[in-house]
Structure 1
Amino acid sequence: MEYVDAADLTLPMQREEVLEELMETYGDAIVRLSYTYTKDTVTAEDLAQEIFIKCYEKLPTFNQQASIKTWLFKVAINHCKDHVRSWHFRKVTLFDKLRPGHTAPLENEVVRREESDRLATAVLQLPLPMREAIYLYYYEGLSVSEIAALTNGNVNTIKSRLKKAREKLRVTAGGLRDEE
């Protein structure tokens, strides 16, 4: 769902259809993104609901300068940042699930989950700007320029955050593959 006609967003029924498709397509990604900010599954799910309500309200203002996915993630990031600014956080648990798994022999699956948990723990220990860049780059597959646009950052700053985050992760969790 990359193209949405602005004319479709003026009537509530079309907005509901667009919202439903956004929720089906990006719902899990928005929950995971929210989790990178809150480090709490329940709070992340609540934030995702709030984000989709906000998107429903703001759909008529979508101006198609970017894809609907980019717009949705921008709304989500801003909402999560607002939430983080308004709350103080305590120690939290690991990601419940970073990405859907695939079938594998039980032994391989256990090893994969242990590695995934170790990496998730290491990612959660990163400072928020690095954590945000890692999540958007590796888990959502966004390019450096897309991340810069979403976070109102500069491309070189995002590259630097990714590089520093990879270095930290290499030390703490065995690292991520290097991709530029």
Structure 2
Amino acid sequence: MNINDLKELMLQYTDSLIRLAYCYVKDLQAAEDIVQEVFIKFYHNQNNYEDHGEVKAYLTQMTVNKSKDYLKSWTYRKIQLQNKLFSLAVKRNLDELVRKDEQAIIGEAILNLPIKHREVLTYFYFNEMTIAEVAHILSIPESTVKTRLRRGRELLRNQLTGLEWEVLLNE
């Protein structure tokens, strides 16, 4: 087999072999590399082929075997581990950015509340004080603190309509 025959085979079967390899490895670049290796191996070992069967079946079997070898390889497992670690880091960063954005929006909405609701919400949520501690600091009864918290949350819900905040939905 000369180089022109190989080029003809590559033109004819490359797309279908890449699709086949992709079905196994779920990575286009890896699938392309596998098919390239298949054609290189076929060219170098063409005397082992000896026209015993259809070329397409032979190349297909080589692609399947190379794909399975790739899935067993350390390279594949290392890439999978790196992707998982990267996706966890990205998710953590996105979660942190979303949390900061939500805090800024809620903080701004709290600043628009009347002072009696604002101070109770600030002490209770941001300073993480109990109802009793808030009542003691403001010198008001605990029932008044509870009422102001409830009304402050209602006012916040009204200000933040259209936005679904986990904090407000769970209250």
TM norm structure 1: 0.40
Higher-Rg structure is 2
TM norm structure 2: 0.42
